[in-house]
Amino acid sequence: MAPTPPSADQVKQAVSDLADRTQSSQAWSSIFRPGSIFRKGYTDSPRNRSYVIMNSVLYHLHPVKVKRHAVKVSYTLCLGGLSFFLFILLTVTGIFLMFFYRPTASAAYADMETLRSAVTFGLLVRNMHRWGAHLMVLSVFLHMARVFYHGAYKSPREFNWVIGVILLTLTLLLSFTGYLLPWDQLALWAVTVGTNMMGFTPVFGDQVRFVLLGGVEIGSDTLLRWYVLHVLMLPFVTVIMMAIHFWRVRKDGGISGPL
Ligand code: HEM
């Protein structure tokens, strides 16, 4: 006699038992923290909705509650978010470029040319990096103007304004240090002019110029110095400053708004 197939109810019961056993296991509850919609017995309550935000690695970056005006695109124009997005884009495209670029006076320009002409997607990624850098300077500046227009530099956000000024300086420094890396005539003379200007710093101008150039004139040592600043030190400080900046937006009561 052929075995009788299980009824629809039996299949439903088996699936529900399996789901029950999985959700009761230690492995499951170690992944999904209390309040998660994937936990057994989740109910839609204001407390559980807050838990969903607080207990998720991705969501917890957002506040549990936001004021209505703060999520209106027309209020912030998302310029801070756009600046952050561009920073991420520049990091990803920059890492791609690092695979094909050597920071020495003899190799840098040739590597740049190879990137433009022979590397798959090289021209596209390089242009994304360059245009992204220009756009980031613009978006950070516009973000600062928006913040100023809304009076968000006033108490209790004055400290975050100062962090913002540091971020603007870092953005400009990232742009300037990146400018030297193609090692073409434009880069060479722009950096020569820039460092000569900085050499007019009162009292220790010569020392400032020496430190910036890694010698008495622009050369391979300057390239290495600016490369390390561009790919490591400045991005590292920027990431730390951004973390403080975002944390302060939360702690200062969210985005400023109409009284
Ligand atoms: C790398 C550069 C920067 C990034 C990624 C960044 C990111 C952000 C983000 C995401 C916000 C949330 C609101 C929004 O999107 O407008 C914000 C708010 C804020 N930012 Fe920036 N920012 C940067 C530079 C600056 C600069 C240059 C200043 C000013 C000198 C500044 C001052 C502020 C202030 C005061 C707030 C709070 C605004 C409010 O409460 O309305 N930020 N920033």
Q: Quote the ligand 1 centre to 161 CA distance (angstroms).
A: 8
Residue 212, pLDDT score: 93
Which atom of ligand 1 lies closest to the CA of 241? 1
Q: From the CA atom positions of the chain, what is the Rg in Å?
A: 27
pLDDT band for position 57 (cuts 50, 70, 90): confident
The C-alpha atoms of residue 241 and residue 150 are separated, in whole angstroms, by 22
Q: How many domains does the chain have?
A: 1
Taking CA atoms only, the protein residue closest to ligand 1 atom 9 is: 80
Residue whose Cα lies nearest atom 12 of ligand 1: it is 80
Q: What is the pTM of this model?
A: 0.86
Residue 88 lies in a domain: yes
Atom of ligand 1 nearest to the CA of 153: 35
- Find all residues with CB under 8 Å of 175, minimum gap 6, and list them: 133, 134, 136, 137
Full domain range(s) for residue 224: 72-251
Task: Give the CATH number for residue 134.
Answer: 1.20.810.10
* Pocket, ligand 1, Cβ cutoff 6 A: 76, 78-81, 83-84, 140, 143-144, 147, 150, 152-153, 157, 160-161, 164-165, 167-168, 171, 242, 245, 249, 255-256
205 domain-assigned: yes
pLDDT digits (tens, 9 = 90+) for 206-227: 999 999 999 999 999 999 999 9
Q: Is residue 8 part of a domain?
A: no
Q: How far is the CA of 143 from the centre of ligand 1 (A)?
A: 6
